[in-house]
Amino acid sequence: MHRTSGRLADGREILWFDERPGRDRGVRDLRDLPAVEHLSQIRYDAVLDEWVGIAGHRQTRTYHPPAQTCPLCPSTPVFSSEIPSADYDVVVFENRFPSFAGTPDGPAAPDTSRFVAAAGAGRCEVVCFTSDHDGTFSRLPPERVRTVIEAWADRTAALSALPGVEQVFCFENRGAEIGVTLAHPHGQIYGYPFVTPRTATMLRTARAHRERTGRNLFADVLEREIADGSRIVAATAHWLAFVPFAARWPLEVHLYPRRHRADLSELDEDERAELAELYPQLLRRMERVFDDTLPAIAGWHQAPVHQGRDELRLHLELFTIRRAVGRLKYLAGSESAMGAFVNDIPPETAAELLRAADPS
């Protein structure tokens, strides 16, 4: 993998991750773009003990453009996109409409006695998986998936080193039903200025489990799933994919490395090679369960930068809101207002459907 760095017309960083050396990445971005303003803010919810991002400038972000003006396709003589080159393998660049950006302007400690707000510092990046506008992650060749993995690992390490970043999250939103506004196959990477609520809950649970048993919670979950076996979807020497015992979504798969890894940057050569083969296979299994579109989210849970790295194990959470042909799982009253999920498909049934699906 060969990494080249450049700058877009408004000063944002762009990085090419190429599978072969010698690609010309010296093309300048000649667009007339205003500088990106860092307008994000975070506010503390004293009732739930959570931080909330406020980013009103994102209302003006690009929304379902026609294919010929897709900002994630390579630039052409008639249209200059976000990528100032005629082709690419994998590209990462700073989001023009970031949820979090800039460096912190000072500490903002949680305080239930008053309203607390701070600059929404951090970093948001876009990851373009392929120059093919009509492609999907599930159909990328293993070599390209491996390049994406290398980009995720590279950016996880780089964002973790930024001042004020507490957690790095690599994810893909897929499908208009999920809310995707750009059809080109891509994902995102967030460098949060706080530990996210989901991760904070996992850490509290893992620490309590450690105090009670002296063992790692995620290692024990993996051991129990292997012993049970009914929810395992796929297994390799270094990875295990299973539907979790208390799955919230109609089709939900968790993918764990068998050895403890805090984040993607810690994966070794063998783990990365197997992941490049296994991950798209899981996506293809999910695509074939229902003869319909696959609105899905894939998110890498990684340990925070400064805490819990011996407790929280890296893992992928992959799920779809598709519950049947022509039917979606909506987060209605119980899920949205109370956070209490009700799943229409038993996890054991979901695992059976996924195992039976053809991954080729």
Q: Examine the pLDDT at 13 and tell me if it is beyond 80.
A: yes
Stretch 144-155: mean pLDDT, rounded? Answer: 98
CA distance 259 to 193: 28
**Residue whose entry in the numeric block shows the structure tokens 């229409």:** 344
* Percent share of the chain, pLDDT over 90: 92
Question: Residue 23: which residues within 8 A CB-CB, separation 6 or more?
Answer: 2, 4, 16
Q: Examine the pLDDT at 259 and tell me if it is beyond 90.
A: yes
The CATH-assigned architecture of domain 199-356 is 2-Layer Sandwich (3.30)
Stretch 170-178: mean pLDDT, rounded? Answer: 97
**Do the domains 2-195 and 199-356 sit in the same CATH topology, yes or no?**
yes
Q: Examine the pLDDT at 182 and tell me if it is beyond 80.
A: yes
Q: Examine the pLDDT at 191 and tell me if it is beyond 70.
A: yes
Stretch 227-248: mean pLDDT, rounded? Answer: 98
For the chain, the average pLDDT equals 96
Using the 8-state DSSP alphabet, how is residue 336 labeled?
Answer: I
Report the pLDDT value the prediction gives residue 109, as an integer from 0 to 100. Answer: 84
Q: Examine the pLDDT at 249 and tell me if it is beyond 90.
A: yes
Q: Examine the pLDDT at 253 and tell me if it is beyond 90.
A: yes
Q: Examine the pLDDT at 107 and tell me if it is beyond 70.
A: no
Report the pLDDT value the prediction gives residue 123, as an integer from 0 to 100. Answer: 97
Q: Examine the pLDDT at 48 and tell me if it is beyond 80.
A: yes
Stretch 328-355: mean pLDDT, rounded? Answer: 97
**Amino acid, single-letter form, for residue 136:** T
93: exposed, middle or buried (C-beta count within 10 Å: 0-12, 13-18, 19+)?
Answer: buried
Per-residue pLDDT band for 32 (boundaries 50, 70, 90) equals: very high
Per-residue pLDDT band for 4 (boundaries 50, 70, 90) equals: very high
Q: Which residues are catalytic, by number?
A: 186
Q: Examine the pLDDT at 15 and tell me if it is beyond 90.
A: yes
Instruction: Write the CATH number of the domain with boundaries 2-195.
Output: 3.30.428.10
Ligand-binding site membership of 184 (annotated): yes
Per-residue pLDDT band for 103 (boundaries 50, 70, 90) equals: confident
Q: Which pairs count as long-range contacts for 174-179, CB under 8 Å and 24+ apart, including other chains? A: 174/136, 174/137, 174/294, 174/295, 174/296, 174/297, 174/298, 175/293, 175/294, 175/295, 175/296, 176/64, 176/295, 177/293, 177/295, 177/321, 177/328, 178/295, 178/296, 178/297, 178/321
Ligand-binding site membership of 73 (annotated): yes
Q: Name the residue among 36, 298, 305 with its Cα closest to residue 159.
A: 305
State the angle between helix axes of 269-289 and 142-160 in degrees (0 to 180), rounded to the nearest 10: 110
CA distance 255 to 258: 9
CA distances from 134 to 183, 219, 240, 334, 353 (A): 8, 39, 30, 36, 27
3-class DSSP state of 184: coil
CA distance 227 to 347: 16
Q: E-assigned strands of 76-204? A: 90-94, 117-119, 123-128, 167-174, 186-192
Q: Examine the pLDDT at 36 and tell me if it is beyond 90.
A: no
Q: Examine the pLDDT at 247 and tell me if it is beyond 90.
A: yes
* Percent share of the chain, pLDDT over 70: 99
Report the pLDDT value the prediction gives residue 27, as an integer from 0 to 100. Answer: 84
DSSP string, 313-335: PPEEEEEESEEETTEE----III
Ligand-binding site membership of 38 (annotated): no
Q: Name the residue among 153, 205, 235 with its Cα closest to residue 312.
A: 205
Domain chopping of the chain, boundaries: 2-195, 199-356
CA distance 250 to 240: 19
Ligand-binding site membership of 128 (annotated): no
Using the 8-state DSSP alphabet, how is residue 95 labeled?
Answer: -
Do 172 and 137 form a contact (C-beta atoms < 8 A)?
yes
Q: Examine the pLDDT at 105 and tell me if it is beyond 90.
A: no
More confident residue, 104 or 331: 331
Q: Examine the pLDDT at 58 and tell me if it is beyond 80.
A: yes
